[in-house]
Structure formats: C-alpha cells, structure tokens
Structure 1
Amino acid sequence: MTTVSTPPNDADHLETLDRDLHRFSHLESANQYVARPMIGLGISLAFIVLAGLGAMMFFGGDQHTMVVVAAAIFGAYMAINIGANDVANNMGPAVGANALTMGGAIAIAAIFESAGALIAGGDVVSTIAKGIVTPESMETAEVFIWAMLAALLSSALWVNLATWVGAPVSTTHSVVGGVMGAGIAAAGFAAVNWSKMTAIAASWVISPVLGGVIAALFLWFIKSNIIYRTDKIAAARKWVPVLVGIMAGTFAAYLALKGLKHLMRISLGTALLIGLVVAVVTWVGMIPVIRKQSEGLENRNRSLKVLFGIPLVVSAALLSFAHGANDVANAVGPLAAIVQASQSGDFTHAVSIPTWVMVIGAFGISFGLFLFGPKLIRMVGSQITKLNPMRAYCVALSAAITVIVASWLGLPVSSTHIAVGGVFGVGFFREWDAERRLRLARVNMPDETRIAPEERRRRKLVRRSHFMTIIAAWVITVPAAATMSAVIFFGIQSMIG
C-alpha cells in the first residue's frame, strides 16, 4: 500500500519559522542579559587603564612613576565605586517617587556630579584625610606613600563589596577607616587622633537619626496641613509655595556653605542670610506658579504629586552638585597626596589637587553611576519603603538641613547616613501614623473586620531585612576598611622589603 505524503502548506511553514525566530529572540535576549555586566566591567577597566596611562604621561621619566600610576589606578577605581554607591542617596528618592526616570536621574547626576567636582571641588586637602593620623608619625615619605596607597585601595574594595551586597555606605567613613588602619600599621596606635575618631563614631548615630527626625517632621507637617484637609487643593496653594521656598533657601545656604566653599570663603551666618533671601524670593515667585499648576486638579492626594515634581528634580540636581564638590576628595585626596610626596618628598603640609587628578575623580564618579548606580538607586528609592513626591521631598530637604545643622555644631557627618536616615524616618513615621489612625478608627470598627496583630506586623511599611543590612554595613565600615588597609600595608611592605 502506497502512502501519499501531502506537502506542508504555507501556514505550517510560517508557524515553524515563527517558533524558530521566537527561540532565537529568546537566545539573543539571554545573551544580552549575560553580557551586560561584562560590558560594565569592560568599560570600567578601560577607564582605570586610561587613568594609569594618563599618570604615566604626566610623570614619564620620574623615578616614582610606577607609584603614581598605581595610585591613579586605585583612585579611578575608588571614584567608580563612589559613583556606584554614594550617588544613589541623591537620586534614589526622586526615582522612587517617579519624579525622574532612571535614565533621566543618571543623566542629571552625571552632569551635576562632574560639574560640582570640577567647578567647586576641593583645591586643598590635608595630606592625611580628615586629620585622622598625624603626618609627623610617618617616618619617611615612602612610608607615607605606602600608607596612602593601602588606604585608597582598602576603601575602594570595601565600597565595592557594599555595593555588591546592596548596602549604601559612607565613602567618607571608608576613607577614614582606610587611613586609620594604614596609620596604625605604619606608626602604631599613638599615631591616631582618637578624639577625632570618637566624633566620627558619634556621627554614625547622630546623622541618620537627625536626618530621619527632620524628614518625619516635614512629612507630619504636609499630612496635617495639606493631605488630611478637606479642601486639599486650597491647602496646597497656601503651603506648597512656602515649602518650595524653604527648600530653595535651604539649598542656597547648603551650596554656599559646602558646595562653593572652595571658590570663596563664606561663614555660616552669611550662608544662612543668603538662604533666607532666596527662600523669600522663591516663596513669593511660586505663589502664582502653584496657583496655575493646581487649576483643574481633582481634590485628592494623587493630584498633589504634580505640585512637588519639579522641586524634587531640582533638589536632586543640587544635591548631586554639592556631593561632587565635597566627596570627590574621597577618591582623589589620597592620590593628590601621593603625587605631591612623590614629587617633592613633602607629606606634612596641605596638598593642592592637580587638574588631571580632579578629572579622574569627576569622570570616575560619572562612569560608576552610569554603569553600576541603578542597583543602589532602586534600593534607596523603592526597596526600603515606598516613596511618593511628598515623601521624597521630605528626604531631600532633611539631607540639606541636617548638613547645615551638623556644620553649625561642628560634627563630621555622612551624606549617605543622612539621606538613608531620612528614608527610614519617612517610613517609620508612616508606620506610626497608620497605626495611630487605625487605633482611632478601631472604636467604630466591627470585630470581624479588625486586622489581626500578625497581619498588621506583616504590613510594616519599612522592610526590616534592608534596615538590618544597612545598619550592619554602617557599623562595620570603619573597622572593616581599617583592617583591610592594615593588611594591604603590611603586604606592600613585605613585597618591597
């Protein structure tokens, strides 16, 4: 019996082709997903190599060329890690509140971080970061150079590890720990300024608590005077211009005090006066703007988000500018000290940061943000607690106010601790406020509709796992960086000894 085979029709051919193409598209997507981390690592490595080659060009025939090249490589590595970890504090709230897209946040941060570093970055830094170790305790310039190399590499490694586990840590404290560990390894415990270290340890507690309290107070004010009012739009027309004015004045004082201190000398009183003038002018100017923006808005909470969007974007940009101006020294301060010690042998006086060194810091921070920043931006912006424009506004404003208060009190604080503390403050206030409102409503609530205690605990508004991870990372930053730095210093000594 002969079997007659019927040829497949066009529909069968097309269906098979679609399936094959679908498989190929999945394969291509998977390949891109796997290759993405490698691309970031490749670009980072290329930048680090370019930094080393640039240092070699500047110090071609010098006997200490290889030391400077190694320092430039470590400085570029540290700058990339600062961009990956620290910048999330400025952009996270705006992204979490959907006032900025991830791409927009990265673009704004890259521009303003670089501008802050190059325009208002530190022209002069101490040879030993933050005065942790007395320069006279170092026996020779060579010992000092090895100590700075160890401090730079250890702090970069620690920030890199913290970014990998998803913990926003203080790069300032990482550098402090690195310098302390190398100083102890090089000259003993007597070389460390322990009173300074005590003040820094106190700031671990003071700065996040102060940032959280200020953020919670502003959120309480917004809820009491706008959100819980019967006519929310009328209340917003009255208070939003005031709040925007406070933000503008605070950031004007913040930038005058911190971001522009290397261009001109400004006292705290002068900075506050500048802030007051800017606050009043902004408040008056925003009254007609908010009135026009609020026309036709529905009387509900969602409508209020529109009014806080632009101030939140501006605050993120200004925070990035000030961060670039201040924290670039964490990446390039030790590098500049090594360059000066290598050239002149002087390591006991203040050191000027050359332009090429500042460029390494500025571009390294931008590359780190662009390639690896989204992970921590998402952590700060949405994974600790849910943010909207009003809550994110409170976080940004508390960061600026806390820095000003800390400067007035003379406390060394971390912008990372303040911003993340502000996020925690907003989240814990929301938990307290929700519990308070539930207690008030419970009187009229039937027994069968009441929420069980176990369910209420499950509905906590701050993720406790992230809270504990971040607190643990903060506590061990200085000792971990110090231990790594001491080990690296002894390793360098053994290799050259």
Structure 2
Amino acid sequence: MELQHISEFDRAVAGGKGELVRFGASFLFMVGVMFLAATHGAGEGELLLVMAATAAAYMAMNIGANDVANNVGPAVGAKAFSLLGALGIAAVFDIAGALIAGERVIERMRSGIIHPGMLSEPQILVWVMLAALLASAVWINIASALGAPVSTTHSIVGAIMGGGIAAHGPEIVNWPVMGRIVASWVVSPVLGGVLAAMFLYFIKRSITHQIDMAAAARRVVPALLGVMAWIFTTFLFVEGLGRLPSVTRGLALSCGLGAGVLTFAIVRARVRDRGLFIPNTEHGVNRLFVLPLMFAAAVMSFAHGSNDVANAVGPLAAIVHAVTYGSGPGQGATVAGWAMLVGALGIGVGLALFGPRVIRTIGSELTELDNMRAFSVAMGSALTVILASLLGLPVSSTHVVVGSVLGVGFLREYLDGSHERMVEEFKAHHPQGDQEAIDDFMQRFGAASPDGKGELLKNLKRQSRSGEDPARFAKWERKAMRRAYRQELVRRSQLRRILAAWVVTVPVSALTAAALFHVIGGALPR
C-alpha cells in the first residue's frame, strides 16, 4: 500500500513538472512574439502591436491545443500510428497550410464579419479586434480545461460580432456574410458526415464485403490514394500558387491529375507486392490503410492550417493595418509576413505542448474507429474543409470532424440494422426445428455480399410463405437489443455534450468580447 502511494505521488510530481515545462515553453514563445512585434511598431503603435501580437499568439496556441485532434485524433484512436508520429505530421502540415494557403480566409475574417467603415476612428477597430482575440482565447482555454469540445471559429466570429456591437450597435454586423457563415456551420458537419459515410460505404462494398478482401484491397487502395493525391495537389496549386498569373485552374487540375495517376501507379506496385502476405481478414486489410491514413491526416492538417490560422491572424492583420496606415483593415491588402508567422508557429507550439490531451479523447469518445473508418473520417473532413477554404468560408474544423465521425457511426448503425432486419426476416420464415438447415443458411448468409444476402432472403421468402413459426425472440426483446447496440456504436451522451458546447460558444464569446471592449477602451489612451 505504501509503495502504491509513493508511485501515485511520483506520478503527480511528474505531472506537475510537465505542466511547469509546458507553461514555461509557452511563456517563452509569447515573450519572443512580443519582441518580434516591437520591431514592427513605433510610438503608441508599438504598444498596441505588442498587445495584439501577444493576444494572437495566445489564441493560436489554443487553436493548436484544441483543434489538433480534428486532424489526427481518429488515426490515433484507430492505433494506425503513434501519438508522437501524429504530432509530427500535424505540426508540419498545419504550419505549411497556414503559411501557404491561409491568407484567403484571413481576408474574410478581418473585414467580413463587421463593417469597419462605420467606426469613427481606427483606434476603435483596434479595441474591437483586441477584445475579440482575448475573449475567444480565454473561452477556448477555459473550455479545453473543462474538456468541452468547442469550435475556435465559432468563438472568434462570435467575439468579433460582440465587440463590434458594443462599439457601434447591431447595424455594424455584416448580416448577409454572417448568414452565409452560419449556414456553413450547419452545412459543413452534414457534408462532412455524408462524405465520410460515402467513403466508408464504398470501402465496405468494394473491400470488406468481398470474399477475397485482401485482393480487393490491393485493387482499391491505390485508387483511393490516387484520388487523394489529385485533390491535394490541385488544392496546393490553387491556394498556394493561385496568385501567380501563370497558374490557372486548368493547370492546377492537370497537375493534380498527373500527381494522382503517378501516385496510383507507384502505390499499386508497392501494395501488390506487400499485399501477398496480408491475411484475408478485416484486421489484415486494415494494415493496408495505414499509409492512406497518414496521407489523409496530412491533407487534413494542411487544410486545417489554411482555414483556422485566420482565427488568430485575421484580427491581428486588421490591427496591424489600422496601426500602420491609420485606416480600416484594407480589404485585399497583403497580410504582414510576421503576423502569418506568429499564427502558424503559435498553432505548432500549442499542438506540441497541449495537443496530446485532446487527441486521446476525440479518437475514441464518439464511436469506435479502426483504420478504414478513421480514413473515411479524415478524407470526408479534409474535402469539406478544402472546399470551404476555396470559397473563403471560415468553417469549424471541429464541426466537420465531429460530423464525419457521426456519419461513419450512423452508417454502421444503419448497415448493422439492415443486416439485423434481414436476419430477423430469415428467422421469421425458416423452420425453427431444422437447426442444421439454419446453421447452413447462416454460414452462407454471413459470407455473402450485400446483394447476395438480399437474393438469399428473396429466395427464402418464396420457398417458405406459409406454415412458418414466429421468430425466436419477441419483438420488444429485439428492439431492446437493437437500441443497446446503437448506443454502443454512437455514444449519445457525448453527442449531447458536444451539441451543448456548440450552442453556448457564440453567445459566451460575444458577451465576453463586449465587456472586454469597454474595459480596453477605458484603459488605453485615445
């Protein structure tokens, strides 16, 4: 007993040291940001830039800590690769996405939520954006500490809106743009869920429902990777190089198609050799999805960086422009390179220091994932976020990933429910006393494809239309078992908790930003 207490004490001390190290590293990063901002300001503007850059760095770290699970959490939950490997993939591609393709959404975030021209002087815009950064960062930090999965995009958009209303009134809000953004919040999880379910359904139909699953996987996996390479390369050209006159949409699509065909050829050759030694089981086929899952996690991380860096850099860019030029945010103006660097590195620092906590929960709390399901979640999420980034919409990656996970979970419920209904139909029409015939049919039924199962049931119904005993279980018993199994596939308690967090994020951030606007306006000189 004494040794157990000592061990628990040692673990607590080690945990305390880890917290101290994380706090110290994050503090040093923010001090470095202060010095960087100070070199780009002068006079009163220097103090404002330092305050804004520090708040943006704090916000970026919270984005990295909270949203990293959206990129690699499903893969870690499926045990496709280690936590350290997941952190490395997410850090590299998140930062690359922020630096290469993040500016388009920043333009919408810094000047699309409110009408800055309605403010009487640039100083008030600085107060609004500074209050928004602080309010959203504090709320995300509190929610993360409480284990609440909130959206960083919801938080910053609500905070900008709340600060703007406090400064001028409701008419300052760009309501048509807000309407489109709110609509994207509703559409994005649904779209993510539909795309993820479509990927999983395709994988099940083309691989796991085939008699020779290993051979089917060797045919399908290279095609999946080729499609992913096409999408990712096209996105890189459109978003990363799209400002160059020589880079057209046609060129981007052609280069993407070339990358997809090349990837298909290379992966097909490699998978064909390795697949010979894979067992013809679902567990063996899952091994083939490790490489696609790593690729999908990289795509999702890049898309996340391109979209969510705006949550920290958008308000900072508006402040930098107002302090530098003494005017509004300057729609279409180039975002300062050092501001982009603060946002990108802040996401990476928050990811490395605080990300592992959230990764361990998002990967297993909603539904059980394996490699194929996690791949479907990652691809559905990546495609949704990429589409949103191309349209310049600041969607919530948290909503998208949760929607994708739920899409996979609900598809499994539907397919298993359909299977269960077919088995019940079989039991209701087959003689119960003929146990040998039942066992023989069940064996053929379990090995058949979905179309084969339906055909077997149709033939069975035609052969036994009268004189049959009822099913072995009562109707209420079958319903109770189905409900219990559904609860196991998608955990409704976690879903309700997530929905509650989504509902309160915007009003809490807006009210906090409105209060901070008045505090900042009273504390800082005009």
**Pairwise TM-score range, normalised by the shorter structure:** 0.7 to 0.9
Tell me how far 1:383 sits from its aligned partner.
1.3
Q: Aligned to 2:264, what secondary structure does the other structure show?
A: helix
Tell me the amino acid that sits aligned with residue 281 of structure 1.
Answer: L
Instruction: Write the distance in 2 (CA, Å) between the matches of 1:167 and 1:458.
Output: 26
Tell me how far 1:91 sits from its aligned partner.
0.9
Tell me how far 1:268 sits from its aligned partner.
5.2
Q: 1:117 aligns with which of 75, 93, 98?
A: 98
**CA 1:348–1:455 in 2, change beyond 3 Å: closer, same or farther?**
same
**CA 1:348–1:489 in 2, change beyond 3 Å: closer, same or farther?**
same
Deviations 1:81-131 (CA, angstroms, capped at 9, x unpaired)? 010112221111211121121111112212222233344442894496251
Q: 2:166 aligns with which of 169, 185, 188?
A: 185
Q: Which residue of 2 aligns with 1:238?
A: 219
- Which TM-score applies when normalising by structure 2? 0.83
Q: 1:454 aligns with which of 458, 480, 499?
A: 480
Q: Aligned to 1:447, what secondary structure does the other structure show?
A: coil
Q: Which residue of 2 aligns with 1:204?
A: 185
Instruction: Write the distance in 2 (CA, Å) between the matches of 1:41 and 1:265.
Output: 46
Q: 1:431 aligns with which of 396, 405, 413?
A: 413
2:416 counterpart of 1:390: no
Instruction: Write the distance in 2 (CA, Å) between the matches of 1:131 and 1:320.
Output: 25
Tell me how far 1:222 sits from its aligned partner.
1.0
Q: Which residue of 1 aligns with 2:257?
A: 276
Q: Which residue of 2 aligns with 1:378?
A: 360
Tell me the amino acid that sits aligned with residue 368 of structure 1.
Answer: G
Tell me the amino acid that sits aligned with residue 447 of structure 1.
Answer: R
Q: 1:70 aligns with which of 51, 57, 82?
A: 51
**Aligned 8 A contact 2:225 2:264 in 1:** yes
Tell me how far 1:439 sits from its aligned partner.
1.5
Q: Which runs of 5 or more residues in structure 1 are unaligned?
A: 1-18
Tell me how far 1:390 sits from its aligned partner.
0.8
Tell me the amino acid that sits aligned with residue 355 of structure 1.
Answer: G
Instruction: Write the distance in 2 (CA, Å) between the matches of 1:369 and 1:89.
Output: 11
Q: Which residue of 2 aligns with 1:307?
A: 288
Deviations 1:160-219 (CA, angstroms, capped at 9, x unpaired)? 233223344332332222211111111211111111111111112111001101111111
Q: 2:63 aligns with which of 65, 70, 82?
A: 82
Q: Which residue of 2 aligns with 1:220?
A: 201
**CA 1:471–1:360 in 2, change beyond 3 Å: closer, same or farther?**
same
Instruction: Write the distance in 2 (CA, Å) between the matches of 1:128 and 1:115.
Output: 20
**CA 1:427–1:270 in 2, change beyond 3 Å: closer, same or farther?**
farther
**CA 1:126–1:283 in 2, change beyond 3 Å: closer, same or farther?**
closer
- Which TM-score applies when normalising by structure 1? 0.88
Q: 2:506 aligns with which of 478, 481, 484?
A: 478
Instruction: Write the distance in 2 (CA, Å) between the matches of 1:411 and 1:31.
Output: 45
Q: Aligned to 2:364, what secondary structure does the other structure show?
A: helix
More divergent stretch after superposition (265-274 vs 237-246)? 265-274
**Aligned 8 A contact 2:188 2:395 in 1:** yes
Tell me how far 1:382 sits from its aligned partner.
1.5
Q: Which residue of 2 aligns with 1:401?
A: 383
**CA 1:235–1:465 in 2, change beyond 3 Å: closer, same or farther?**
same
- Taking the TM superposition and a 5 Å limit, the aligned residue runs for 1:30-49 are 30-49=12-31
| RMSD between aligned residues | 2.7
Q: 1:251 aligns with which of 232, 238, 257?
A: 232
More divergent stretch after superposition (283-292 vs 187-196)? 283-292
Instruction: Write the distance in 2 (CA, Å) between the matches of 1:131 and 1:374.
Output: 33
Q: 1:360 aligns with which of 329, 342, 345?
A: 342
**CA 1:121–1:195 in 2, change beyond 3 Å: closer, same or farther?**
closer
Tell me the amino acid that sits aligned with residue 323 of structure 1.
Answer: H
More divergent stretch after superposition (465-474 vs 135-144)? 465-474
**CA 1:274–1:402 in 2, change beyond 3 Å: closer, same or farther?**
farther
**Aligned 8 A contact 2:111 2:329 in 1:** no
Tell me the amino acid that sits aligned with residue 410 of structure 2.
Answer: F
**CA 1:407–1:40 in 2, change beyond 3 Å: closer, same or farther?**
closer
Tell me how far 1:407 sits from its aligned partner.
6.3
**Aligned 8 A contact 1:174 1:478 in 2:** yes
More divergent stretch after superposition (453-462 vs 312-321)? 453-462
Q: 1:91 aligns with which of 64, 72, 97?
A: 72
Instruction: Write the distance in 1 (CA, Å) between the matches of 2:389 and 2:7.
Output: 56
Instruction: Write the distance in 2 (CA, Å) between the matches of 1:179 and 1:39.
Output: 33
**CA 1:125–1:383 in 2, change beyond 3 Å: closer, same or farther?**
closer
Tell me the amino acid that sits aligned with residue 96 of structure 1.
Answer: G
Q: 2:175 aligns with which of 160, 169, 194?
A: 194
Tell me how far 1:455 sits from its aligned partner.
4.0
**Aligned 8 A contact 1:155 1:481 in 2:** yes
Tell me how far 1:250 sits from its aligned partner.
2.1
Tell me the amino acid that sits aligned with residue 190 of structure 2.
Answer: V
Q: Which residue of 1 aligns with 2:402?
A: 420
Fraction of identical pairs, as percent? 46
Instruction: Write the distance in 2 (CA, Å) between the matches of 1:262 and 1:368.
Output: 30
Q: Aligned to 1:86, what secondary structure does the other structure show?
A: helix
Instruction: Write the distance in 1 (CA, Å) between the matches of 2:286 and 2:152.
Output: 33
Tell me the amino acid that sits aligned with residue 148 of structure 1.
Answer: M
Tell me the amino acid that sits aligned with residue 183 of structure 2.
Answer: A
**Aligned 8 A contact 2:75 2:293 in 1:** yes
Instruction: Write the distance in 2 (CA, Å) between the matches of 1:441 and 1:167.
Output: 40
**Aligned 8 A contact 1:127 1:334 in 2:** no
**CA 1:41–1:263 in 2, change beyond 3 Å: closer, same or farther?**
farther
Instruction: Write the distance in 2 (CA, Å) between the matches of 1:308 and 1:199.
Output: 36
Q: Which residue of 2 aligns with 1:469?
A: 497
Q: Aligned to 2:363, what secondary structure does the other structure show?
A: helix
**CA 1:482–1:266 in 2, change beyond 3 Å: closer, same or farther?**
farther
Deviations 1:37-59 (CA, angstroms, capped at 9, x unpaired)? 34323322332233223323443
More divergent stretch after superposition (196-205 vs 42-51)? 42-51
Instruction: Write the distance in 2 (CA, Å) between the matches of 1:410 and 1:48.
Output: 29
More divergent stretch after superposition (361-370 vs 442-451)? 442-451
More divergent stretch after superposition (307-316 vs 167-176)? 167-176
Tell me the amino acid that sits aligned with residue 44 of structure 1.
Answer: S
**CA 1:100–1:205 in 2, change beyond 3 Å: closer, same or farther?**
same
Tell me the amino acid that sits aligned with residue 85 of structure 2.
Answer: G
Instruction: Write the distance in 2 (CA, Å) between the matches of 1:62 and 1:385.
Output: 54
**CA 1:410–1:360 in 2, change beyond 3 Å: closer, same or farther?**
closer
Q: 2:516 aligns with which of 485, 488, 493?
A: 488
Q: Which residue of 2 aligns with 1:328?
A: 309
More divergent stretch after superposition (402-411 vs 169-178)? 402-411
Q: Which residue of 2 aligns with 1:52?
A: 34
**CA 1:254–1:163 in 2, change beyond 3 Å: closer, same or farther?**
farther
**Aligned 8 A contact 1:204 1:475 in 2:** no
